[in-house]
Amino acid sequence: MPTPVSHTPIPRPLLLVVDDEVPVLKVVERLAVKAGFDVVTCASGAEAMRTLTRKPADLAMVDLRMPDVNGLDLLRQIKVAVPGCEVILMTAFAAVDSAVEAIKLGAREYLSKPVRLRSSSPAPHRRFGSSSSVARRSSRSKAEVARSSNSAG
């Protein structure tokens, strides 16, 4: 008699989307879910940081200009709170100096709004990598953080 095989579902990577514009949140959420991500949306930087303490994200898409926080400051906070989280900044006010600063701070990408997420443009998972490759990178990053914490203490 064959041994039953356990099919534990592979967890979907978590995408945190932070933007003060609700239509942007809805569009990115819809497309990212189709691409294989679990999605949490936040309309402010403060809400995003509260969310990250409960649910560490694998990826974050962050607006550069929001009423309560500058996206570069939020990028710094995310990288401290969740070092393995990859961050993509998006802005309607693209400038070379903020793009350079974002990349220096560890942003994966810097996108100009309106972000073209129609079917004719690259799908969200192509921007992020496939959801499974993001999950593997995230698992490796979390393991590396755990190892460095253990060796430091």
Number of domains in the chain: 1
Q: Is residue 1 part of a domain?
A: no
Q: Is residue 47 part of a domain?
A: yes
Give me the domain span that covers residue 82. Answer: 14-132+143-152
Q: φ and ψ at 4, to 5 degrees?
A: -65, 140
* Stronger pLDDT, 120 or 133, i.e. the higher one: 133
Cβ atoms of 62 and 78 closer than 8 Å = yes
Q: Which of 29-43, 48-62, 129-143 has the lowest mean pLDDT?
A: 129-143
Cβ atoms of 87 and 79 closer than 8 Å = yes
* Stronger pLDDT, 133 or 20, i.e. the higher one: 20
Q: Is residue 4 part of a domain?
A: no
CB count, 10 Å around CB of 129? 16
Distance CA 52, CA 87 (A): 13
**What does each C-alpha distance from 64 to 51, 72, 138 come to in angstroms?**
18, 7, 24
Q: Is residue 18 part of a domain?
A: yes
Q: Is residue 81 part of a domain?
A: yes
Q: Is residue 19 part of a domain?
A: yes
pLDDT at 133 over 70: no
Q: Is residue 92 part of a domain?
A: yes
Which among 68, 60, 72, 78 is positioned nearest to 127, based on CA atoms? 60
Q: Is residue 107 part of a domain?
A: yes
CATH number at residue 29: 3.40.50.2300
pLDDT at 24 over 80: yes
Quick one: pLDDT at residue 6?
66
pLDDT at 78 over 60: yes
* H-helix or E-strand spanning residue 3: none
